[in-house]
Amino acid sequence: MAIKIEKKIKGYNVVKPEDKAAAPAPVVAKKDEAPKAEVIQMHESLERPETLVGSTYKIKSPLFEHALYVTVNDIVLNAGTPHEQRRPFEIFINSKNMDHFQWIVALTRIISAVFRKGGDVTFLVEEMKAVFDPRGGYFKAGGIYMPSIVAEIGAVIEQHMKMIGLIQDPDMDESTKRLIAEKRAAYEAAANPTPKAAATAAESQPATESTGFPPGATLCAKCNTQALVLMDGCQTCLNCGYSKCG
The string of DSSP codes covering the chain is: ------SPP----PPPHHHHHHSPPPP---TTSPPPPPPPPP-TTPPPPS--EEEEEEE--TT-SS-EEEEEEEEEESTTSTT-EEEEEEEEEE-S--TTHHHHHHHHHHHHHHHHH-S--THHHHHHHT---TT--EEETTTEEESSHHHHHHHHHHHHHHHTTSS--PPPPHHHHHHHHHHHHHHHHHH--SHHHHHHHHHHS------SS-TT-EE-TTT-BEEEEEETTEEEETTT--BTT-
> Environment class of residue 169 by beta-carbon count within 10 Å: exposed (0-12), middle (13-18) or buried (19+)?
exposed
Cβ atoms of 114 and 121 closer than 8 Å: yes
Q: What is the pTM of this model?
A: 0.64
Residue 12 phi/psi, 5-degree rounding, is: -150, 165
The string of DSSP codes covering 70-81 is: EEEEEEEESTTS
Tens place of pLDDT for every residue, the chain, 246 residues? 567 777 777 777 777 776 666 666 555 555 555 556 577 777 877 888 899 999 999 999 888 888 999 999 999 998 888 888 899 999 999 998 888 889 999 999 999 999 999 889 999 999 999 999 988 888 887 778 899 999 999 999 999 999 998 988 766 667 766 777 777 777 777 766 655 544 454 444 443 345 567 777 777 877 778 777 877 778 878 777 777 776
Q: Please give the pLDDT value at position 87.
A: 93
Pairing of β 68-77 and β 53-59: antiparallel
Alpha-carbon span 49 to 59, nearest angstrom:
28
Alpha-carbon span 171 to 159, nearest angstrom:
15
Alpha-carbon span 10 to 146, nearest angstrom:
51
